[in-house]
């Protein structure tokens, strides 16, 4: 077969539904034998957070950010009809009924398919997120690494 095609996705959003769309496309692209990379920046980094609280010494502002942002994919809200957190519960129920994969499982599946997950280090600093708070199986990079991948990418998405 010809050289593998590339899919790159920027996950900016910290919404459960948008992240789900990103990860479904990533898994689909991996099934297409694409080399897939997801760059997580700003609120999208929350999808990579470990669900358990990590004890890390932080400044006041960073500690506040840590508290206010969802700790991991399963705690993320919806972009629409969030209803103060009831929306995600409802949609997870509906997803179960329709046998759709929940976001945490989609992320694990993506890793199983060798999708590269990348944390943007600049926004990690802004949001006060430490490497220890994020999944252990991810990489770290900046805009140049993203452009390097995206320049010869066949599918490029910003979600």
Partner 1 sequence: MEPKTTIDAKGLACPQPILKTKKAIKELDSGEVLELHATDKGAQSDLTAWTKAGGHELLDHTEDNGVYKFWIQKGE
Closest contact distance (angstroms) between CB of 35 and partner 1 is: 15
**Residues found near partner 1 in the complex (CB under 8 A):** 1, 24, 27-28, 31-33, 95, 98-101, 109, 113
Query: Based on CB atoms, which residue is closest to partner 1, 60 or 98?
Result: 98
Closest contact distance (angstroms) between CB of 158 and partner 1 is: 20
Query: Based on CB atoms, which residue is closest to partner 1, 100 or 126?
Result: 100
Query: Based on CB atoms, which residue is closest to partner 1, 5 or 71?
Result: 5
Which residue, 101, 98, 75, is CA-closest to 88?
Answer: 75
Closest contact distance (angstroms) between CB of 101 and partner 1 is: 6
Query: Based on CB atoms, which residue is closest to partner 1, 54 or 113?
Result: 113
Query: Based on CB atoms, which residue is closest to partner 1, 26 or 127?
Result: 26
Show the 3-state SS of the chain.
CCCCCEEEEEECCCCHHHHHHHHHHHHHHHHCCCEEEEEECHHHHHHHECCCCCCCCCCHHHHHHHHHCCCCHHHCCCCCCCHHHHHHHHHHHHHHHCCCCCHHHHHHHHHHCCCEEEEEHHHHHHHCCCHHHECCCCEEECHHHHHHHHHCCCEEEEC
Closest contact distance (angstroms) between CB of 32 and partner 1 is: 6
Tokens of 26: 């990533």
Closest contact distance (angstroms) between CB of 154 and partner 1 is: 11
């Amino acid at each position: 077969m010809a050289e593998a095609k590339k899919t790159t996705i920027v996950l900016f959003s910290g919404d459960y539904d948008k992240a789900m769309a990103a990860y479904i496309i990533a898994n689909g692209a991996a099934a297409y034998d694409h080399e897939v990379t997801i760059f997580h920046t700003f609120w999208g980094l929350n999808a990579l957070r470990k669900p358990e609280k990590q004890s890390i010494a932080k400044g006041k502002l960073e500690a506040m950010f840590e508290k206010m942002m969802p700790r991991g994919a399963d705690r993320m809200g919806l972009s629409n009809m969030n209803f103060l957190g009831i929306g995600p519960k409802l949609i997870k129920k509906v997803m179960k009924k329709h046998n759709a994969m929940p976001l945490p499982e989609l992320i694990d599946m993506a890793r199983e398919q060798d999708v590269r997950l990348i944390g943007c280090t600049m926004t990690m600093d802004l949001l006060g997120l430490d490497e220890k708070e994020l999944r252990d199986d991810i990489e770290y990079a900046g805009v140049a690494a993203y452009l390097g991948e995206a320049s010869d990418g066949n599918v490029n998405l910003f979600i």
